[in-house]
């Protein structure tokens, strides 16, 4: 009797880099077309959209209402410290906002793109000093900390800026994924290609949305990310998010040795490959695996059709969070596919040789990164054996495990 269902451990084949380039340049989708894939991707993105709505609201609340709070004990309550809300929080009957913070810290640590460049600028440093000077007037703790640790408060402001920017990014993505689910129910989206096109169009439409952030201190508005910084949704937040969370990520405890002598973790952050497109779904719900928090959140918001589909496969409820992770990985390949298409320098049908060369260079860079990711999930999977139904009452024995 296998410990893990065979359809979760099989190797579906790893398309080489050349095949990934061919698919992208020909306008094909990375994820194969199938009815099951459509159900998985749309269903899991609907669940993800519900979760991102909660993540976005809380991140923006933290950045605006818990700004420079040294003891943010109630930061997950969104300003509602009622006894019932606190009890649910202590009982863990809530969204796992810790995963949202994990993604924020991953972006902050990897520090790529236009947002990070602005956070390193003299203009941002000047904004920080103006905020700190205002905050110190009536906050003796801040007045004490700043001279002793002059880099501490600017780092907290940097963290708050990343938190707010990620909240704005997820606000757009939540609305986009929920709109996708409605479009699928309306019959507008009927294929994986249509899913990719829908997400691409949404990303392109939001590409130039400004990313700004201001705080209120003693009745005065102070800019952290001012409009003059020129930060935008796609290039300054979305692309760094894909780089930090989809591609690089962070190594998970228990899956790799953190012993420096073992040299299992590269000293070069640019070579990290632990993100959503690279992670193995099987350790989901294990200790030290941050995405387990997201899988639990999505489990609580699964559409009925997708939940029923999961129950017919593998071990039913027993391995449902692993199956959610597998579906999530497929959906993230669709989102990545849409981002690649949206940033294509020129139309794919252009006859200009220079345009074609630029498109090939754009695609080659992405295909090289994706070639070593979990591309074995892209093929249309054979239908696995269904989970056996319970024995009728009165019969002896128990059904075999799937």
Kindly calculate the radius of gyration of the chain based on its CA atoms and give it in whole angstroms: 23
- Both tokens of 206, joined, read 């939001």
Q: Please list the pLDDT of the chain residue by residue as tens digits (402 residues).
A: 334 454 544 455 789 999 999 999 999 999 999 999 999 999 999 999 999 999 999 999 999 999 999 899 999 999 999 999 999 999 989 999 999 999 999 999 999 889 999 999 999 999 999 999 999 998 999 999 999 999 999 999 999 999 999 999 999 999 999 999 999 999 999 999 999 999 999 999 999 999 999 999 988 999 999 999 999 999 999 999 999 999 999 999 888 899 888 889 999 999 999 999 999 998 899 888 999 999 999 999 999 999 999 999 989 999 999 999 999 999 999 999 999 999 999 999 999 999 999 999 999 999 999 999 999 999 987 655 444 444 444 433 333 333
How far is CA 168 from each of CA 74, 173, 181, 211, rounded to the nearest angstrom?
21, 9, 21, 7
The predicted pLDDT at position 153 comes to: 96
The predicted pLDDT at position 253 comes to: 87
pTM above 0.85, yes or no: yes
- Both tokens of 8, joined, read 């979760």
Q: How far apart are the first and last CA of the chain?
A: 9
**Model pLDDT for residues 179-217, shown as the tens digit of each residue:** 999 999 999 999 999 999 999 999 999 999 999 999 999
Question: Cα(44)–Cα(42) distance, rounded to whole angstroms?
Answer: 6
The predicted pLDDT at position 272 comes to: 94
Q: Which one-letter DSSP state was computed for residue 213?
A: E
């Amino acid at each position: 009797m296998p410990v893990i269902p065979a359809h979760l451990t099989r190797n579906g084949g790893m398309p080489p880099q050349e095949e990934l380039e061919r698919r992208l340049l020909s306008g094909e989708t990375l994820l194969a077309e199938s009815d099951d894939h459509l159900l998985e991707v749309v269903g899991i993105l609907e669940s993800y959209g519900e979760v991102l709505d909660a993540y976005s609201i809380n991140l923006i609340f933290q950045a605006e209402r818990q700004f420079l709070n040294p003891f943010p004990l109630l930061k997950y309550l969104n300003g509602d410290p009622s006894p019932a809300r606190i009890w649910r929080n202590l009982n863990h009957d809530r969204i796992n906002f810790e995963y949202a913070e994990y993604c924020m810290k991953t972006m902050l640590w990897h520090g790529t793109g236009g947002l990070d460049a602005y956070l390193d600028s003299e203009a941002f440093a000047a904004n920080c000093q103006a905020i700190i000077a205002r905050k110190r007037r009536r906050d003796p703790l801040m007045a004490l900390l700043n001279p002793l640790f002059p880099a501490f408060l600017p780092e907290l402001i940097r963290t708050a800026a990343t938190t707010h920017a990620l909240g704005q990014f997820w606000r757009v993505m939540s609305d986009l994924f929920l709109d996708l689910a409605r479009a699928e129910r309306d019959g507008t989206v009927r294929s994986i290609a249509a899913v990719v096109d829908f997400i691409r169009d949404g990303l392109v439409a939001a590409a130039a949305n400004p990313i700004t952030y201001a705080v209120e201190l003693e009745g005065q508005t102070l800019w952290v990310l001012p409009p003059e910084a020129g930060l935008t949704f796609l290039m300054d937040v979305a692309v760094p998010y894909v780089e930090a969370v989809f591609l690089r990520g962070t190594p998970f405890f228990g899956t790799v040795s953190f012993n420096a002598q073992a040299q299992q973790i590269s000293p070069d952050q640019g070579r990290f490959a632990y993100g959503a497109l690279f992670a193995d779904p099987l350790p989901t719900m294990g200790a030290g695996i941050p995405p387990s928090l997201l899988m639990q959140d999505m489990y609580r918001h699964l559409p009925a059709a997708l939940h029923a589909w999961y129950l017919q496969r593998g071990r039913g409820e027993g391995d449902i969070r692993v199956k959610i992770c597998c579906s999530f990985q497929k959906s993230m390949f669709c989102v990545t596919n849409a981002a690649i298409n949206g940033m294509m320098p020129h139309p794919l049908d252009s006859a200009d040789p220079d345009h074609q060369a630029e498109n090939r260079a754009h695609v080659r860079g992405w295909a090289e990164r994706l070639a070593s990711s979990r591309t074995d999930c892209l093929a249309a999977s054979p239908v696995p054996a269904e989970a056996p139904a319970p024995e009728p009452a009165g019969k002896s024995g128990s059904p075999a495990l799937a």
